[in-house]
Structure 1
Amino acid sequence: MIENNPHFRLVNNAFPHIGKNIRLLWGHPEFARYVAKLMADTRNGQRKGFPDDVHDSMLRLLEQHDRDFPPSPEKPNPKGLWDDQPDY
């Protein structure tokens, strides 16, 4: 249960709105995308960033999620790369 994870508790205590989203996304493929979005500067240098302990805990949560819920490999495209191109 995610609530028992010390890294989750640290993030949740510091940023309850992020903790709420982590709880909702835990176990779903969208979790990794959410964490990656949080860690990226999407505000043209205006984002202050997370405190070091929160940053570390977010990375640890991502690692734990990948261990508990391994990402599915990409499904191969059933069509060939050039199948939809016209013949000239």
Structure 2
Amino acid sequence: MALKKLIKEFNTYLGEKESLLDTDYQHVAQKIELHWGYDEFYPFIEKLLVDTRDRKRTGFPIEAMLEISELHRIHEQLYPPKTKSR
């Protein structure tokens, strides 16, 4: 299932636009869906937002990063973490 269909708040955020995660990064979207609603979401999503690897990476385009950030915000609002993962 697409993130846009699964998460109504994300659908509202995107409006008429398609999700770049759903179209171009399906493996990431599937993992977000798998973790959605669970505390395991937080360490997973934070690894996407912050590069902690030593090697150089291209990373996500800004549009995908904005979607990831928005999903993080929505999840935090709907499912506040029991403990901070930082």
2:22–2:29 Cα contact (<8 Å) kept: yes
Q: 2:36 aligns with which of 12, 22, 26?
A: 26
The percentage of aligned residue pairs carrying the same residue is 30
Equivalent residue, structure 1, for 2:49: 39
Number of aligned pairs? 74
TM, length-normalised to structure 1: 0.70
Paired with 1:73 and 1:48, the residues of 2 have a C-alpha distance of: 31
Distance 1:73 1:42, change over 3 A: closer
**Which has the greater radius of gyration?**
1
Structure 2 length-normalised TM: 0.71
Equivalent-residue separation in structure 2 for 1:32 and 1:73 (angstroms): 10
Name the structure with the higher helix share: 2
Residue 9 of structure 1, CA deviation = 3.1
- Structure 1, unpaired ranges of 5+: 75-88
Equivalent residues of 2:49, 2:69 under 8 A apart: no
CA RMSD of aligned residues (A): 2.4
